[in-house]
A and B are shown apart, each in its own frame.
Chain A
Amino acid sequence: MQMVLLEKKTEFILEPKADTFYLVLLDKNAEQGKIKVDISFQKPGVSCQLLFLGRLKNNSSWQLESNTRHFVTGTSCLTNVYLSQADEARVDYFGQIYIDQEASQTKSFLKEQSLILGKATYNRSRPILEIFNNKVKASHSASSSRLSEVELFYLMSRGFKKIDAEKILEEAFFNKVLDSIKVKAAHKLIGGYLC
């Protein structure tokens, strides 16, 4: 699977011809941003992954959108959105999966996870499924939650300061997605981003 880093633009219209891993790293220093990714599957059998990754802090505000549209048979897509929100960070995410009547044997999944670290964050999430074929598998899930008190307590009882324990747990949150990525080039980029 090849990797493509989506950067320097706010809107991407993609029509993959081969299996591809698309990566979007949200600028940690930007006060606000807007990114829209449209993936249109027109070639049968193509498989893709799309990952939005962001460590958002201060009062940064982001509008994110992904539209995954399947028009032919046997395509698959996994969309992951992993965000941590500190301070007063705001995120508005819209994620669509559309499966056309002709697109049988499609598999398309969307997973959005927000880790809330700040006290005045805002998170809006609209994961949309539009399915017009019965020979498919599609799902989405979205969750927004804070660090586990139990896990924090465990680490602090082992001598970590609260701030260090929080950092470890945030790192673990992102490691979950890293573990699922098989493209080596992506590991290096993401590792650098998370430092």
Chain B
Amino acid sequence: MKRANLQKLNDAYSDKFGFSMPEKSVLSFDFGLSQKIIADISTSKNEPTWMREFRQQSLQVFRKMKLPSWGPSLAEIDFEKIRYFIKNTDVEKKTWAEVPDEIKETFDRLGVPQAEKEFLAGVKAQYNSEVAYSSLQAELDEQGVIFCSMEEALQKHSDLFKEYFSKLVPAADNKFAALNSAAWSGGSFVYIPPNTHVKRPLQSYFRINAARMGQFERTLIIADEGSSANYVEGCTAPVYSEYSLHAAVVEVFVKKNARFRYTTIQNWSGNIYNLVTKRAKVFKDGVMEWIDGNLGAKTTMKYPSCFLVEEGAYGEMLSIAYAKSKQIQDTGAKMMHLAKNTSSQIIAKSVSLDGGQSNYRGLVYISKAAANSKSKVECDALILDKDSATCTYPDMKISGENAIVEHEASVSEIEEEKLFYLMSRGLTKTEAMTLLVAGFIEPIVKELPLEYAVELNRLIELEMEGSVG
């Protein structure tokens, strides 16, 4: 690709993703976290007593818990300088026409409507803290699939909601899960009835549009027996000089013989702390697949996990971490084998360039009850320059009889021979390196929906421009 074309692409990216719309919130609260603010959030959402109490208890847990003693430094986060709730529209919109123009413009630039029209079964586009626009496709209704905001689910499907909410990620799990439990707002609720197969991906866009604003969406997914579905979330955010915090919680229940795939492309701007707790519980012969692409954010700490609790359960994690200047991508996965004949696979690939650091941090645990279980972990890291770094911190604990565990990790730079070959065919060094990086992550990119794969390749192309040569 010619340099001029790349520049054009770069400008387009800046125009498309590097902007911020003026804030115009109907309802927002002051900075900091207090019992009153938490109570106000509950009141604004008209929540039942049990949820009000849950939030207040979670706040107490949050105050007692300390920041993690391991991993990247989070000392810069000042929880008193974060605004915990902003609601951009006072009523959740049901049709696109009712969505305010400025929000529409934001989503137009992100391409949400087109994606919705052309590819998607349903869109839950989150602008700041609450679902601003939602459209449920008729076919989802016909199938009995529930795909709505968490607030709507709490009101309309309260029994189902209460049965599963916070059962997999309790408030006391970690400090950021406690923070989310206290201040959660927005996110998606998905219920797939037994033996129902959702053919098109369920898609959600999340977006932060206020400096110092924490976004604490919560996602709860139940794939009932014999069902299957694919959930996709993508993140982009405007660039700000002050930091923001994204601390989400995702809980997925994969019942007997069900199959669920959760795909994330994370492209937060470089000033955001992205601290997410994602967990799945997989029952007999169920299959859970996490596909995770981490490109943005200042610091990411994300370790999706699978609790394989019944015989034959399978968990898989495919991840890409892309760390550039001033970024730390601390990602990985946890596979907890708690029943016999369970199996798991983790494939993690990372690219570090321009002073970025990518870390793999993972756990494979095979309990005594998990006889005949198998797990395989592969970590491949590519370092593109002398200022960058990569680390792997795997942990394998094996007690189960007849367990087989394999772990491999390798670190390398781009091979000179391959670079020379491509350059001898007329490509510039940047183009050749971009192509080789694309080839390196291809095994994971090919698992993404088409539009995401295209976007990911394009983003990497843009990021590589100017960072080599």
Binding site for B on A (CB under 8 A): 101, 104, 116, 119-146
Contacts and interface: CB of A to CB of B under 8 A. Distances in A.
B21 interface: no
A94 B257 CA distance: 37
A173 to B, nearest CB: 15
Contacts of B389: 130-132
Contacts of A139: 408-411
A124 B397 contact: yes
Given A134-B385, A144-B403, A129 B391 contact: yes
Contact of B393 (A101, A122, A128): A128
B394 interface: yes
Given A122-B399, A139-B410, A145-B405, A133 B386 contact: yes
B398 A138 contact: no
B182 to A, nearest CB: 34
Given A127-B394, A129-B392, A146 B402 contact: yes
A183 to B, nearest CB: 26
16 contacts: A116-B402, A116-B403, A119-B401, A122-B399, A125-B395, A125-B396, A127-B407, A127-B409, A128-B391, A134-B413, A139-B409, A140-B392, A140-B407, A140-B408, A143-B404, A145-B403
Given A126-B395, A144-B398, A134 B383 contact: yes
A62 B395 CA distance: 17
B410 A138 contact: yes
A144 B399 contact: no
Nearest to A93: B396
Nearest to A137: B412
Contact of B386 (A124, A130, A134, A144): A134
A124 B407 contact: no
B271 interface: no
Interface of B: 368, 381, 383-386, 388-399, 401-413
The 10 closest A-B pairs by CB, nearest first: A139-B410, A134-B383, A142-B407, A134-B413, A129-B392, A145-B404, A141-B408, A132-B389, A125-B396, A123-B398
Contacts of B381: 129, 131
B54 to A, nearest CB: 36
A68 to B, nearest CB: 14
A170 B155 CA distance: 62
A91 to B, nearest CB: 10
A86 to B, nearest CB: 13
A146 B385 contact: no
B395 A144 contact: no
A134 B388 contact: yes
Contacts of A131: 381, 383, 389-391, 411
A122 B407 contact: no
B395 A141 contact: no
A127 B408 CA distance: 10
Given A140-B392, A144-B404, A145-B404, 5 more contacts: A122-B397, A130-B391, A134-B385, A134-B413, A142-B394
Contact of B396 (A101, A121, A124, A133): A124
Contacts of B413: 134-136
Contacts of B410: 138-139
B386 A101 contact: yes
Nearest to B352: A134
A11 B406 CA distance: 28
A122 B381 CA distance: 29
A140 B132 CA distance: 47
B385 to A, nearest CB: 6
A106 to B, nearest CB: 10
A116 B404 CA distance: 9
Contact of B411 (A123, A125, A138): A138
A129 B408 CA distance: 11
A132 to B, nearest CB: 5
Contact of A141 (B383, B398, B402, B409): B409
Nearest to B414: A134
B383 A142 contact: no
B230 to A, nearest CB: 32
Contacts of B386: 101, 104, 133-135
Most chain B beta-carbon neighbours within 10 Å: one of A120, A134, A137, A144? A134
Contacts of B384: 134
Most chain A beta-carbon neighbours within 10 Å: one of B390, B395, B398? B398
Contacts of A140: 392, 407-409
A136 B404 CA distance: 30
A122 B398 contact: yes
Contacts of B404: 143-146
A65 to B, nearest CB: 14
B72 to A, nearest CB: 14
Nearest to A138: B411
A128 B70 CA distance: 14
Contacts of A134: 383-386, 388, 413
Nearest to A140: B409
Contacts of A127: 392, 394, 407, 409
A137 B416 CA distance: 13
Nearest to B375: A144
B409 A129 contact: yes
A145 B401 CA distance: 10
Contact of B394 (A116, A123, A126, A136): A126
B406 A126 contact: no
B411 A143 contact: no
A130 B403 CA distance: 28
Given A139-B411, A144-B403, A145-B404, A129 B390 contact: yes
A2 to B, nearest CB: 29
Contacts of A125: 394-396, 398, 407
A185 B314 CA distance: 47
A31 to B, nearest CB: 19
Nearest to B384: A134
A137 B411 contact: yes
A146 B399 CA distance: 12
Contacts of A104: 386
